[in-house]
Amino acid sequence: MRMLRQIAPVFFTTDIPATVAYYQDKLGFECLGTWHDPPVYAIVARDEQPIHFRCAAPPTPNPDKYGAELLDAYLFIVDADALHAEYAARGVEFTRGLANTPWNTREFVVKDCDGRLLAFGESL
């Protein structure tokens, strides 16, 4: 019997409203709710896949994060070309453009408003 139904990442941010706005406006997520005033927690989702945000001091930055492409999350998608085009039209910042990989995916990497690296990949 399968016990796990879903895994939701919980990302830290110092500004819940700005982060929620970025995920809505740039990445096409819907805000499912925020808690407290001012908000200290929020949940966004796209295609029934949630991401949680908690207001907290960010972790100590890793100076190798971008050079070594240390990802914060990998999102498995359908139609990488269409999603990449949507994000490009919305002005999303890419740290790696759309391309086929040696591991049989078509993927790209986005840098979000808080500096997280999100890879979006489609199996070939």
Q: What is the pLDDT of residues 11-22, one digit of tens each?
A: 999 999 999 999
Q: Look up the CATH architecture of domain 8-57.
A: 2-Layer Sandwich (3.30)
- 120 near 105, Cβ under 8 Å? no
For the cut 90, the answer to whether the pLDDT of residue 3 exceeds it is no
Q: Please give the share of the chain, as a percent, with pLDDT higher than 70.
A: 100
Residues 6+ apart with CB under 8 A from 85: none
pLDDT digits over 72-112, tens only? 999 999 999 999 999 999 999 999 999 999 999 999 999 99
- Quote the pLDDT of residue 113: 96
Domain ranges of the chain: 8-57, 70-124
For the cut 90, the answer to whether the pLDDT of residue 44 exceeds it is yes
DSSP 104: S
- Quote the pLDDT of residue 58: 78
CATH of domain 70-124: 3.30.720.110
